[in-house]
Amino acid sequence: MRDLVLPIDDGDLRLRQLTEDDFPDHTRLFSLPSVVRYLYEDVLAGEELRAHFEKRLWRGLPAEGEWANLAVVQGDRFLGEVGFGLSDATHRTCEIGYVFLPEVGGFGLATRATRATVDLCFDVLGAHRVTARLDARNHRSAALAQRLGFRREAHYVENEFVKGEWTDEVVYAVLDREWHSSQHPLPRSSKTRASAG
Ligand SMILES: CC(C)(COP(=O)(O)OP(=O)(O)OC[C@H]1O[C@@H](n2cnc3c(N)ncnc32)[C@H](O)[C@@H]1OP(=O)(O)O)[C@@H](O)C(=O)NCCC(=O)NCCS
């Protein structure tokens, strides 16, 4: 276990607290139909966007049942956000999320930022198991989870009613020992490190 020191640097990527300056980019992110397509949120507007943004400002590591978010930036450029929650303290289960602007997709940036988030869940929050839950139609999200070596553990049929329709949910997971194994398909980047700042 280690303390969390923000920002987290991964080469040219930086995971840091959201700041007021991120509001325009964050607003754009959650205003795009293609981005929110498979999220619980619908396209947000006006005051909803403000409330949504403020909910995501950093308040420290999440307690059980809570969620925390970090902005992902490259230089001064806002790319998206990652999220992590402590779903169950007794069973040391964390959950992750990731939402990126469409124009930065396809270069492995979301994968790298999410990998650093999974590191955080294991090394800072002491998780035994990290999960990702997604709409079964969200193939890019599933591909990201698989790229990170997550195992597809469940496919629930029409278990959620989201945006006016019954949807299937897929659950991916990885265990601490699997993540840290030398057999892991995507070992941790030697460049990933926490830095003061
Ligand atoms: C889910 C989401 C983050 C995935 O984005 P993405 O662009 O597929 O992911 P990455 O940025 O990691 O890019 C992966 C691509 O880069 C490629 N790539 C290039 N270099 C790479 C590298 N060093 N490491 C990993 N992948 C790399 C991969 O092969 C992949 O290529 P492909 O698009 O041809 O399959 C994005 O679609 C998104 O934000 N969607 C909207 C919100 C959402 O649904 N979030 C998930 C909720 S569960």
**What percent of the chain clears pLDDT 90, i.e. is strictly above it?**
87
Distance (angstroms) between ligand 1 centre and the Cα of 101 equals 11
Distance CA 77, CA 147 (A): 24
Within-domain flag for 3: no
Residue 196 has pLDDT above 50, yes or no: no
Q: Pocket of ligand 1, candidates 32, 114, 144: which has the most ligand atoms within 8 Å of its Cβ, to mutate?
A: 144
- 189 pLDDT band, cuts 50/70/90, is low
SS3 content of the chain, % helix, strand, coil (to 5): 25, 35, 40
Looking at the chain, list the stretches that DSSP marks H as alpha helix, in order from N- to C-terminal side.
23-29, 33-36, 47-55, 109-123, 139-147, 176-179
Atom of ligand 1 nearest to the CA of 99: 39
Query: CATH number, domain at 94?
Result: 3.40.630.30
Atom of ligand 1 nearest to the CA of 141: 1
Within-domain flag for 138: yes
Distance CA 67, CA 141 (A): 19
Within-domain flag for 196: no
Q: Which residues line ligand 1 (CB under 6 A)?
A: 35, 38-39, 97-100, 105-111, 134, 138, 140-141, 143-144, 147
Question: How many residues in total does the chain contain?
Answer: 197
Within-domain flag for 114: yes
Structure token digits, residue 7: 């920002």
Mind listing the pLDDT tens digit for each residue in 3-45? 999 999 999 999 999 999 999 999 999 999 999 999 998 998 8
Residue 155 has pLDDT above 70, yes or no: yes
Within-domain flag for 102: yes
Closest CA to 129 of 98, 83, 86: 86
Residue 195 has pLDDT above 70, yes or no: no
Within-domain flag for 2: no
Provide the whole-model pTM.
Answer: 0.94
Within-domain flag for 48: yes
Q: Pocket of ligand 1, candidates 84, 111, 139: which has the most ligand atoms within 8 Å of its Cβ, to mutate?
A: 111
Which segment of 12-21, 140-149, 186-195 scores lowest on mean pLDDT?
Answer: 186-195
Residue 185, domain extent: 8-191
**Looking at the 3D structure of the chain, how many domains does it have?**
1
Distance (angstroms) between ligand 1 centre and the Cα of 90 equals 32
Within-domain flag for 153: yes
The Cα diameter of the chain in Å comes to 48
